Amino acid sequence: MGNYFRNIWLGVWTVLVGMRITINHLVMRKVTNQYPDRYPDLKSLEEAKLVPTNSRNRLFVDKEDCNGCKGCERDCPVNCISVETTRVTPGDTVPLLRSGGKRNLWVTNFTIDMAKCCFCSLCTQACPTSAIVHTSEFEYSEYNRNDLVYQFSPFSPEEAQVKKDMFANYQAEQAAKKAAAAAVAPAPAATQENV
């Protein structure tokens, strides 16, 4: 019988201990602050962005310097970089790369999924024109995962399709010229072997 009342007392006692902890946390001073209030002693949020210069944070691609070699895409261990290119057609106005090199490819699509990125910096080392770099920007959290996919193509989807169509038309013209040249060319004379 004593064990019965002891169990009742332990049940009431544990509830009271739990309620005491809960009430203490209700009236206690906050320990964790929301992000903008996290640095109350700094004069501005810019002072909070003190990061080392060699830190590996969000990637940035200089569209004017990217030559479309896809070295970054090949070297990425987590496949977070996707690059689509199309060849430059003769007669198209082609600006030089910022580094002074000749542009042979149009970069029609260049996306980086920062949700997958492991910040290994292999893509920056593989780039021959140093078009892809790590920035000091570390505050880029999003509520929607799709907002972490960044687009770095210099073209809108419509402009990219125009460049692809130009190259497809150029290839069709070249194939038609080859076919016409093959039809006009005389057939090689058959050689007879002396027996």
- What is the spatial distance between Cα 176 and Cα 42, in angstroms, rounded to a whole number? 69
CB 59 within 8 Å of CB 135: yes
With b for 16 or more beta-carbon neighbours within 10 A and e for fewer, the 181-193 pattern comes to eeeeeeeeeeeee
Tell me which residue range forms the domain holding 130: 59-177
Q: Does 27 map to a domain?
A: no
Q: Quick: pLDDT tens for 26-73.
A: 888 877 655 555 555 555 555 555 667 778 888 999 988 888 899 999
> Residue 171 maps to which CATH number?
3.30.70.3270
Distances (CA, A) of 38 to 78, 140, 143, 190: 33, 17, 20, 88
Q: Does 122 map to a domain?
A: yes
Considering the entire predicted model, what is its pTM?
Answer: 0.64
Q: What is the largest CA-CA distance in the chain?
A: 125
